[in-house]
Structure 1
Amino acid sequence: MTFITVIYGDNEQRMFNPHCTSLILLECIRKHCCRNDGNDGTLDLTDAVGNMKHLPDHLNSYANMYLEGRTKYWLVKVEKGITDEDPTRYTLLTNNSEKYYPDLSHKLQELSRPPSPSGRQSWATVRKKLPKTIKGSKRTHAKKR
């Protein structure tokens, strides 16, 4: 049987058995790793390079399907945006995360950025940057040889 290690708080570590449903694992992590400030949000885990495990999306599945044994994971608070256009915010639940885990903190900040505009708007932006050659009333983007 392999365990996972969860890092939280003041660089504290605690081992958990992932051979249970994600719901049970997350509730055990909340009970043992969160103080009063972490009880109101959704919890998830991330690996050392910032890959979110999305355990709340798979609450009835066994957590060991998404987690690798003998691996360290960091505790993250996930706050979904109010609307679909608002970004989901990921907060590392360790103290001084910028100091001790700067790369991981930076990756979670990137994930917390607002979603990109719809494909139609972004294509319009790209189209403006393309070189234009006007032939009659038609726009062509490639020069003929």
Structure 2
Amino acid sequence: MFIAIKFGDDEKLLFNPDCSPKILLDNIKRRCRVPLQADIELLNEDGELKNVSQCMQERDACGIFTDRGIYFLLRLEKKDGRVTHKCLLNGFTESHPHLAAKLEDLSSPKQCESRPTSKDKFSKMVKRTSRAGLITSSTSKIKKLRDSGKTTSRVK
């Protein structure tokens, strides 16, 4: 799998997203000559912001992208609590006016649209059970089993 990123004077580079999103973003910054401290994002040809920087918990970035997709490199600029997106492809507004209009409408990034991680599922489960007051530690279950004289290798 690979993706193409457009930037600069109609430059296009290929990247392999089969790595963590952090490594991918660092590699994009280095190869596209963007300062490492800058915040960047990617916009696909349909005008969807990919929000890679908000998906850092993912093991790899493959699920965020379409194979052989073309993406535009954006720089995020924060002013007065508002996030603005600037495309780093020279002449973007003239060459892609429909995408430039969508980009102008974006005021802040959306939540990560990738599948939830097991850590997220566990935290939701803990929140649900703690609200119901049903959390008991496994050690107390083991003690109860020991006290009752039952021995089992599996505690439910």
* TM-score bracket for this pair, using the shorter chain length: 0.5 to 0.7
Please say if 1:71 is aligned against 2:69.
yes
Matched with 1:128 is none
**Which digits, 9 at most, give the CA deviation of each residue in 1:15-37, with x for residues without a partner?**
000000000001110001125xx
Determine if contact 1:6/1:13 at 8 Å carries over to the other structure. yes
Matched with 1:23 is 22
CA shift for structure 1 position 81 = 4.2
Q: Measure, in 1, the Cα distance between the counterparts of 2:37 and 2:91.
A: 21
Please say if 1:9 is aligned against 2:8.
yes
Please say if 1:101 is aligned against 2:90.
no
Matched with 1:47 is 44
Determine if contact 1:23/1:60 at 8 Å carries over to the other structure. no
**Which digits, 9 at most, give the CA deviation of each residue in 1:67-92, with x for residues without a partner?**
1111101101112344xxx3210111
Matched with 1:59 is 56
Q: Measure, in 2, the Cα distance between the counterparts of 1:69 and 1:104.
A: 20
Query: Which ranges in structure 1 are unaligned for 5 or more consecutive residues?
Result: 114-145
Give the letter for the 2:62 counterpart. Answer: N
Determine if contact 2:26/2:36 at 8 Å carries over to the other structure. no
Q: Measure, in 1, the Cα distance between the counterparts of 2:56 and 2:89.
A: 24
Q: Measure, in 2, the Cα distance between the counterparts of 1:24 and 1:97.
A: 26
Determine if contact 1:49/1:103 at 8 Å carries over to the other structure. no
Q: Measure, in 1, the Cα distance between the counterparts of 2:20 and 2:51.
A: 13
| TM-score, length-scaled by structure 1 | 0.68
Q: How many residues in Structure 1 have an aligned counterpart in Structure 2?
A: 107
Q: Measure, in 1, the Cα distance between the counterparts of 2:23 and 2:57.
A: 9
Determine if contact 2:75/2:88 at 8 Å carries over to the other structure. yes
- The worse-fitting range, judged by mean Cα deviation, of 18-27 and 94-103 is 94-103
Q: Measure, in 2, the Cα distance between the counterparts of 1:87 and 1:31.
A: 26
- Give 3-state SS (helix, strand or coil) of 2:82's partner: coil
Q: Measure, in 2, the Cα distance between the counterparts of 1:109 and 1:17.
A: 28
